[in-house]
Amino acid sequence: MGPAPGLVVWLLPLRAALADATACSFAETAGKAVLIPSAYALKHCNHKVWATVFERTVEAAKQPLEKTMEFRKIRRGRFRFPSSPQGPKRLLSHTNLYSNDTASKALNEHFFTPFPDMFTRFSKCGLKIFQPVVLYRAWAPRYFQYGHVMSDLLPFVVWIYNNFASNDTKIVVEQDTDGRIKSFMEWFDGKMHERMIYVPADTIVCAESWLAVVNPAPRVLLFRIADLHRNLRAQISLRTKSQSLDKVVAYERVPGDTRTGRLIAKAQFSRLLDLTAEALRSVQRPADDIVVFNGRVAGTTQRLGFEEQYRLFSSAYLALGPHGSGLSNILWMQNADCHDRPAVIEFMCSTDARSVRGCYVVEGLKKLTRIQSWWRIFAGAPWVRYFMVWMLHHDDHESEVASVDEAGFNISLYAALKGEGPQMRSLACRTYQVCCENTELLDLRVANGAPRQCQVPHAGMETDAAFILSDPSHPDFCPAVSSVTSTTAFPPFVCPWMESASGTFNIAQCRQDYCFTGLQGLETFLSTLVQLYRDNMQTFGMAFGLFFSIQFALLPRLAGFLRLRIRERVEEHAVNI
């Protein structure tokens, strides 16, 4: 192999082809992900684990690439992707590597190990490559596993492709036992595919020119880096885009198609679809927007192709379902800009679901909750608005079936569909009316021939701004506060959920005070919401996401905004007179 030259370490310029997201604030996109639990989930799940996951995900995502990994260039060598004696399900990331070049020394031992013996090391080359080579082995099983291809192979292959622009440089990856990685890459990008070489496990590869390896500093599970995914999203943006976002994709995991459980019972999945249809109708969207996706062509056992999955998810304004490979297709969802983004509601394992297969790992004698989400794996997935809902236990015994926190899901639905700004102000105000309106008192007034309002207007006061804003039952109260005429509110079950979660909000007291506190009553209601949010941020990591995007989340801004609306309406009234 020749004399050993000096150590050569390539810290290549890590080009950030990040045109689609450079102007977006990570804190205002990925950092806005929320977990929304019901009152039941608040009592039965340990939310501190989510706080830890949230903090670690954000910390890992912000890592600069140049401090996380390097390209190490080696002059000639041989390598192989070893299989596991435990079978193809075993997830591996290490490569057997041998070279006389000293640059091959002191590599990360989790990724590069010596050949097991001299006989294997000097076995006949199964493949010789004479062009320059960059090799990368994804952390994945030996069979084709779509989720690992999307998260552990594709981001790195695209990154390598963009850093080694020469067509002479080949990218070597492991071929799966099904042979589908090759067809996937050919579909994804034909030019990229032409530069790739797919090598089966245990094949001895001899690199006759130089080879470069990706030498990471940390372990593989810390590779959830925002820069990698911005680079990948930039590559995806070159593909043909959907003309319109008109789908709601409901992901269903089907028995027999998954090895990792987290199934949802048919009866509950049907209820979730009904709740989704009801929420869509509340925002004037047709229930026909809903498409159930299980990885198969509808009504058949035929696998849905890569292009069909891409088209489906790239046309979705909302995707929902349990954590699993099929939901990794959110990678294809399209955002117009940093603010106009589609939404995802993911069902995530909780501590209450430790009896559900796929929701735990065993370490020694301990069964530990496996809290995983595509928000975490995709380093915050800043191209979508992210909502998470707990999965709960379905049976008291070991089961592949989980239950979904339906109340948390329903709240997430309305939050995902309503958007931000004036619509959220209107939604907050209408929810105050739903929770606190004194129905018996107002019904009694109607029975006595009076308007269904707390206060009866005197002549000339019907359009008076100060009068309108003093009476929360007035038809124009919420439009005056929000500048939006929508009558949509969160469902009534939100009220007892708030009462249970906060410990300070009392529905009966709020209804008793409703007609007498005017605008101050709304401020108090929203103050409770904000305090509830603040109290629980550290406990369960921004779990109270119900009103996270309301523009007046900080109380001084809220009070100032409401006072401004009063002045504006009074001035409008004076001008109109």
Residue 342 lies in a domain: yes
145-168 pLDDT per residue, tens: 999 999 999 999 999 999 887 888
Domain-located, residue 19: no
Residue 355, both tokens: 């009896």
Which one of 143-147, 236-240, 297-301 scores highest in mean pLDDT?
143-147
Stated as kind and residue range, the H or E segment containing 129 is strand 127-129
At residue 532, the pLDDT reads 65
User: Do 275 and 411 lie in a common domain?
Assistant: yes
Please state, in angstroms and rounded to a whole number, the distance separating the CA atoms of residues 478 and 520. Answer: 14
Are residues 438 and 450 both part of a single domain? yes
Q: What is the pLDDT of residue 484?
A: 64
Residue at 233 is within a domain: no
Q: How far apart are the first and last CA of the chain?
A: 95
Is residue 293 domain-shared with residue 360, that is, in the same domain? yes
Asked if residue 557 has pLDDT above 70, the reply is no
**Rounded-to-integer distance, Cα 387 and Cα 206, Å:** 48
What are the pLDDT digits (tens) for 105-154?
Answer: 888 888 999 999 998 888 999 999 999 999 999 888 888 999 999 999 99
For the stretch 211-221, pLDDT in tens is: 999 888 766 55
**Which tokens belong to 244?**
């319109």
Q: How far is it, in rounded angstroms, from Cα 55 to Cα 48?
A: 11
CB within 8 Å of 63: residues ≥ 6 apart? 222, 225
**73 and 93 both lie in a single domain:** yes
pLDDT at residue 415 greater than cutoff 60: yes
The values of phi and psi at residue 553, to 5°, are: -65, -30
pTM over 0.85: no
Closest CA to 227 of 125, 156, 143: 156
Q: What confidence score (pLDDT) does residue 344 get? A: 97
DSSP assigned state of 218: S
Per-residue pLDDT averaged across 368-385, rounded?
90
Do 74 and 100 meet the contact criterion of CB atoms below 8 Å apart?
A: no
Same domain, 413 and 486: no
Span 311-332, pLDDT tens digits: 999 999 999 999 999 999 999 9
Q: pLDDT, tens digit, for every residue of 13-58? A: 333 333 344 457 887 788 888 888 877 887 788 877 888 888 888 8
- List for the chain the helix, strand, coil content (%; round to 5): 40, 20, 40
Instruction: Kindly state whether residues 427 and 411 are assigned to the same domain.
Output: no
Do 129 and 162 belong to one domain?
yes
Instruction: Give the number of other CB atoms < 10 A from CB of residue 490.
Output: 24
**Max intra-chain CA distance, the chain:** 103
Are residues 55 and 199 both part of a single domain? no
In a domain, 323, yes or no: yes
Which pLDDT score is estimated for 530? 64
pLDDT in tens, 55-93: 888 888 888 888 888 888 999 999 999 998 888 778 888
pLDDT of residue 59: 87
Residue 230 lies in a domain: no
Q: What distance in Å separates the CA atoms of residue 351 and residue 49, rounded to the nearest whole number? A: 8
Which H/E stretch holds residue 232? helix 226-236
Report percent pLDDT > 90 for the chain. Answer: 35
246 and 306 assigned to the same domain? yes
- Three-class SS state of 287: helix
Average pLDDT of the segment spanning 275-288: 89
548-to-36, 325, 380, 415, 528 alpha-carbon distances in Å: 11, 28, 17, 9, 13
Assess if residue 178 is contained within a domain: yes
The answer to whether position 430 is within a domain reads yes
Give the end of a domain, one of 418, 448, 466.
418
Mean of pLDDT over the chain: 81
Domain co-membership, 159 together with 260: no
Range of the domain at 485: 422-576
pLDDT computed for residue 389 by the predictor: 93
Domain count, the chain: 3
Last residue of a domain, one of 222, 246, 267: 222
Say if residue 427 is in the same domain as residue 493: yes
Domain ends where: 222, 256, 284?
Answer: 222
Q: Within this chain, do residues 410 and 446 fall inside the same structural domain, yes or no?
A: no
